[in-house]
Amino acid sequence: MSPPSSEPALLTELRALIDRHAPRTPLAVEGLMLTRADRPEAPSASLARPVLAIVAQGSKRLILGDRVHDYGAGQYLVVSVDLPVGGHYTHATPQAPFLACGLALEPAKIAALLLDADSGTLPLPRRSAPHGLAVCDAPAELLDAAVRLLRLLDRPGDARVLGPLIEKEILWRLITGEQGALVRQIGLADSQLTHISRAIHWIRDHHTETLRVDDLARLAGMSASPFHRHFRAVTALTPIQYQKRIRLQEARLLLMSSAEDVADIGFAVGYDSASQFSREYRRAFGRPPGQDAVRLRGGADAGRRPGGTPRSTHSDGKLR
């Protein structure tokens, strides 16, 4: 499919580079992730980790709580904390597949840039925690850096030296760009986002345990009311809702990979009532857990199509 005449040349080249290299793993550029999907699909739950994703072709929808984020060619997505999202490709065909590239956003690398930066060039800090997910139009400077990074896939010798330098440039474009305040907080040890992130990590690591908001607030260094407000601002969910999403997603993974009884899996992820587990699972995924398990195991046996169910980022070079 030929690009529109008004499409920037950088976006055209980015699309061609992703289309050529997306099936290849591992990639010569460490930390680079590529996605190619050739058809839309039903919404599916996943855990989105801190990441930058730039779309070169097609479009996708992510749902976080009651917030809907649509993004497509020429736009970028920033996720700042681990978030349980629903998502699906909305425009993707074999002739014009969904194509995107991405990088994990690591706090240490962002913090190192902030230490070297002139504070006068940085966005003003937010008074409250930012949303954990944002979509923006990609400026030419960011697209240019992304194109140069992907060109290194054809030059592995150069990639080892130049890849980290271009990645640093990409992070700088983010820090000083439209979502700079959000990205900057990822690297600041004392930011509101970092405090909420500590609570998020506790919930993920202890999702089977009883959640007490007062204890989470103390972990985040806040009183209960501001903590609850900031947590919802970042995740679009209350702490209890966040824990429920994590439990249900963990249960779904167990249903796909384990032959355990449905009720046992419900108990394993923290539910005391099998009927409540079944009810909430069906509300989240559209089928009772037993029926969904049969479908998931059949899909796993048949193999996943390229660019299939959205997942969090993996080390195999794919952004899922």
DSSP assignment of 75-121: EEEEE-S-EEEEEEEEE--SSS-EEEEEEE--HHHHHHHHHHS-GGG
For residues 18 and 166, membership in a common domain is answered with: yes
DSSP state of 3: P
CB atoms within 10 A of CB 69: 17
Tell me, what's the pLDDT at 205?
93
Domain count across the chain = 2
Tell me, what's the pLDDT at 256?
83
Asked whether residue 311 is assigned to any structural domain, the reply reads: no
Structure tokens of 66? 């009651």
Q: How far apart are CA 232 and CA 239, in angstroms?
A: 8
For residues 27 and 152, membership in a common domain is answered with: yes
Asked whether residue 309 is assigned to any structural domain, the reply reads: no
Compute CA distances 134 → 68, 223, 314, whole Å.
10, 27, 21
Asked whether residue 205 is assigned to any structural domain, the reply reads: yes
Closest CA to 102 of 164, 31, 162, 155: 31
For residues 89 and 221, membership in a common domain is answered with: no
For residues 135 and 220, membership in a common domain is answered with: no
Asked whether residue 313 is assigned to any structural domain, the reply reads: no
Contact 236, 65 (CB under 8 A): yes
What are the phi and psi torsion angles at 221 (to 5°)? Answer: 75, 30
Contact 220, 199 (CB under 8 A): yes
For residues 40 and 133, membership in a common domain is answered with: yes
Tell me, what's the pLDDT at 123?
56
Tell me, what's the pLDDT at 225?
92
Which residues, in sequence order, are CB contacts of 116 under 8 Å at separation 6+? none
For residues 174 and 75, membership in a common domain is answered with: yes
Report the alpha-carbon angle 159-162-167, nearest 5. 100
Tell me, what's the pLDDT at 185?
87
Question: Which domain CATH number covers 214?
Answer: 1.10.10.60
Write the burial class of residue 130 (CB in 10 Å: 0-12 exposed, 13-18 middle, 19+ buried): buried
For residues 201 and 174, membership in a common domain is answered with: no
Asked whether residue 43 is assigned to any structural domain, the reply reads: yes
Write out the residue range of the structural domain in which residue 234 sits.
192-302
Torsion of Cα atoms, 305 then 307 then 311 then 315, to 10°: 100
For residues 47 and 140, membership in a common domain is answered with: yes
Asked whether residue 1 is assigned to any structural domain, the reply reads: no
For residues 149 and 245, membership in a common domain is answered with: no
Per-residue pLDDT of the chain (320 residues; tens, 9 = 90+): 444 445 689 999 999 999 999 977 788 888 899 999 999 887 888 888 999 999 999 999 999 988 899 999 999 999 999 999 999 999 999 999 999 999 999 999 999 888 887 655 565 555 555 688 999 999 999 999 999 999 999 998 999 999 999 999 999 999 999 999 889 888 887 788 888 989 999 999 999 999 999 999 999 999 999 999 989 988 989 999 999 999 999 999 888 887 788 999 999 999 999 999 999 999 888 889 988 888 877 754 433 333 333 333 333 334 43
Asked whether residue 315 is assigned to any structural domain, the reply reads: no
Question: Which domain CATH number covers 59?
Answer: 2.60.120
